[in-house]
């Protein structure tokens, strides 16, 4: 009887510890992640943190590594600083500015590969979100851009979210006047989709 009680006590402690252990997630991105035009608390990384607590009773620490205008090259240059925070998970949501500026996608892919490699060496779980771009530079460029993410997914066996702005892009009531950046309601939808995508990793 005493042995049974002791075992139950240990199991209870393990469950409590698991629920109260805090995982750190680095959301590495651009203005879409930073939350341009909304407050930090309204941006999807902060909302994902809230959803983890509300839905899973999990404590996570969301680091918003989104910087407006950031390209894959910019993010790579800042990565070592972010990795000092020892994130358990790195959620990569980059590439939109590379595509919108028509940058060399071979270089963009190389930058992303270096980001993935550095994150893995830091013992972080890497998750990848894809983006889509308008055909401003022709259909061949847009196709190469979309395929870039698929190549990374396959090469590094990454869990992949095909489109960060699913159900938000192009919806007038969910975006700001520029038609590009989500408003607070848009970020709520992004947060729900991102949370659904990564909750098994928490």
DSSP characters for 10-73?
HHHHHHHHHHHPEEEEEEEESHHHHTTTS-GGGSHHHHHHHHHHHHH--EEEEEEEE-TT--HH
Q: Which residues are catalytic?
A: 31, 178, 181
The pair of three-digit structure tokens given for residue 48, joined into one six-digit string: 């994902």
Over pLDDT 90: what percentage of the chain?
90
Specify the number of domains making up the chain. Answer: 1
Give domain status of residue 10, yes or no: no
Give domain status of residue 15, yes or no: no
Give domain status of residue 80, yes or no: yes
Q: What's 162's domain CATH number? A: 3.40.50.1110
Q: Which residues contact 162 (CB under 8 A, 6 or more apart)?
A: 130, 149
Looking at the predicted structure, is the pLDDT value of residue 3 above 80? Answer: no
Domain of residue 61, residue span: 21-201
Q: What is the pLDDT of residue 61?
A: 98
Looking at the predicted structure, is the pLDDT value of residue 147 above 90? Answer: yes
Is the pTM here over 0.85, yes or no? yes
Taking alpha carbons only, the member of 119, 118, 116, 122 closest to residue 153 is 116
The pair of three-digit structure tokens given for residue 11, joined into one six-digit string: 């199991």
User: Which residues are paired to 129 by β-bridges?
Assistant: 161
Give domain status of residue 5, yes or no: no
Q: What is the pLDDT of residue 21?
A: 83
């Amino acid at each position: 009887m005493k042995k049974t009680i002791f075992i139950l006590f240990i199991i209870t402690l393990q469950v409590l510890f698991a629920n109260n252990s805090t995982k750190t997630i680095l959301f590495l991105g651009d203005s879409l992640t930073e939350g341009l035009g909304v407050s930090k608390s309204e941006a999807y990384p902060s909302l994902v943190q809230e959803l983890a607590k509300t839905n899973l009773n999990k404590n996570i620490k969301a680091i918003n590594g989104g910087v407006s205008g950031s390209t894959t090259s910019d993010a790579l240059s800042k990565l070592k600083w972010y990795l000092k925070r020892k994130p358990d998970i790195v959620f990569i949501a980059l590439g939109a500015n590379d595509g919108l500026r028509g940058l060399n996608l071979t270089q963009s892919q190389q930058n992303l590969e270096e980001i993935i490699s550095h994150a893995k060496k830091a013992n972080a779980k890497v998750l990848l979100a894809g983006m889509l771009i308008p055909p401003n530079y022709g259909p061949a460029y847009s196709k190469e851009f979309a395929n870039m993410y698929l190549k990374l997914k396959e090469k590094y066996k990454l869990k992949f979210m095909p489109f960060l702005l699913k159900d938000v892009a192009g919806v007038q009531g969910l975006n700001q006047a520029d038609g590009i950046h989500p408003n607070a309601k848009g970020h709520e939808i992004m947060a729900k989709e991102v949370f659904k995508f990564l909750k098994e990793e928490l």
